[in-house]
Structure formats: C-alpha cells, structure tokens
Amino acid sequence: MKTLEIAHLDKAFDQQVLFKDANYTFQQGKIYGLLGRNGSGKSTLFNMIVGNLPYDSGRIAVDSDDGQGLITNYSDTAVGMVYTQPHLPAFMTGVEFVDYFIAINRDRLERMHTTVKAADFFDMAGLGKADANKLLRDYSEGMRNKLQIVVSLMLKPPVLLLDEPLTTVDVVAAHEMQQMIVAMKADSVVVFSTHIMQLAQAICDAVVLLHQQQLTELAGLDIHSQAFEDAVIARLSDEVQADA
C-alpha cells in the first residue's frame, strides 16, 4: 500500500515554530483534506514533502509500493504537487508546453501504458483549440491551474499533493477536476489543502487539521454533518479563544 509518513517532524523559520513533533500517516485509498488557519504551515508541509524545503528534524518517508518500503530518499517522481500559483513557462504556447511535457515524461507515460496526445490534455482541462495556441503568459489564472492539474494527474504519482487547487477554476471545471482527483485515490496517496469547507466535505474521506504545530485527524463524526463543520471551527479556534 502506498503511504506517506510524517514522523516527529520539527520545522521552524527563525523564531516561528510551525511543526513540533508532528506525526501522521497518510495512505492510498483515501482523499485527505488538510485544513488549518492562514499561516499554519500547510504549504510549508507540502514543500517539505516534495523536497523544495528542508525540515529541521524528524522524518518524511514515502512507500511507493515498489518493494523498497518506507524510504526518506524517495525519488522526485514519487511526489507530484499542484501549486496554488502554477509554475508554467510563460513563453511557451499551451500545446508547446504539453508536447514538451509528454516528451520529457515519455518513459513514465509508456510504463503506465498511457498513449495520451496533447489534444487529450486540452480536452481534460476543458480548453479549446484557440487556447492551445496561446502563450501560457496570456492564459487566465484558472486556465493555468486547470492545465497544471491535468499534467500532474496524468503522471499518476504515488503521492499527490494539491495546495488549494480548485479556488480559481470555474464551477464546471471544478466539478470535473473533483472527479479526476477522486479517481486518483485508488492508486495514490492524495492530500489537498483547502479553506473551502464544502469542498473538503464533498470529496474527502478524512480531514487532518494542522493546528498548534500538530497534525490531527478529526475522527468520529460524519464528515458531511454540521456537527463536523462545527468541530473543525471549534478546534481551529482554540488558540483564539485561549488568547481572548
């Protein structure tokens, strides 16, 4: 089973402690919503998992189900990340970028027996022919986001992290992207951060709170219930009440 393990994780920026002995194990087969207050460290956690940022101590390990077990020196293909602000080359057209993406990932795509063509990416992202020939610089933020989500999903990484992924896409695209994300959970560990409670309730199997430097699953309540929403708000308000 594919697994992402966070164990005894510590991380601080100067005097600001974001993680203190944080522990949680995410597993394939569920979609996890990561909820926390602004500035609690959700993007920092994702950046540590994907290898963009170092952590101070503890361990982050991935089991890609390839026989190596849980390892900390996992390859950069083990974790895929959808960024809030997409990292796409501004001076390529959409189709140039997708052709380039297919070329550099040809081996991976062939191993998955995927015979996707550039046109398939645009269909999945709900983008038209005219869009394909535009410079990515001239895409709207939502268009860039849709393309980024589609390319990330196409590689089927063992661990897929989505940092507030659906906030800029239109309602129709959001519905389609949700279905694609849900389809990923059978084969991947899927974790996404969001501030939209309804989105978390719509697609998550579990909600993990990042609060007071810890990761804690909010268990024991029906995720779709008002009681669940109330419990999330109460838990994340702890500090404010304590300070008041």
Ligand X SMILES: Nc1ncnc2c1ncn2[C@@H]1O[C@H](COP(=O)(O)OP(=O)(O)OP(=O)(O)O)[C@@H](O)[C@H]1O
Q: Is 188 in the site for ligand X (CB under 6 A)?
A: no
Q: Is 89 in the site for ligand X (CB under 6 A)?
A: no
Q: Is 38 in the site for ligand X (CB under 6 A)?
A: yes
Query: Nearest distance from residue 16's CB to ligand X, in Å?
Result: 6
* CA-closest candidate to residue 239, choices 212, 219, 214, 220: 212
Query: Nearest distance from residue 18's CB to ligand X, in Å?
Result: 6
Helix, strand or coil, per DSSP, at residue 192: strand
Contact segment (CB under 6 A) with ligand X among 13-21, 56-64, 138-146, 149-157 equals: 13-21
Q: Is 111 left (phi over 0), alpha (psi -120 to 50) or beta?
A: alpha
Beta strands 214-217 and 206-211 are antiparallel
CA Rg, the chain, in Å?
18
Tell me which of 3, 40, 188, 194 binds ligand X, using CB under 6 A: 40
Tell me which of 6, 18, 62, 208 binds ligand X, using CB under 6 A: 18
**Of 47 and 188, which CB lies nearer to ligand X in the complex structure?**
47
Contact segment (CB under 6 A) with ligand X among 38-46, 96-104, 109-117, 198-206 equals: 38-46
Residue 120 to residue 108: CA distance in whole angstroms: 17
Q: Is 42 in the site for ligand X (CB under 6 A)?
A: yes
Give 1's contacts (C-beta < 8 A, 6+ positions apart).
Answer: 27, 28, 29, 63, 65
| DSSP summary character for residue 23 | E
Residue ranges binding ligand X (CB under 6 A): 13, 16, 18, 36, 38-44
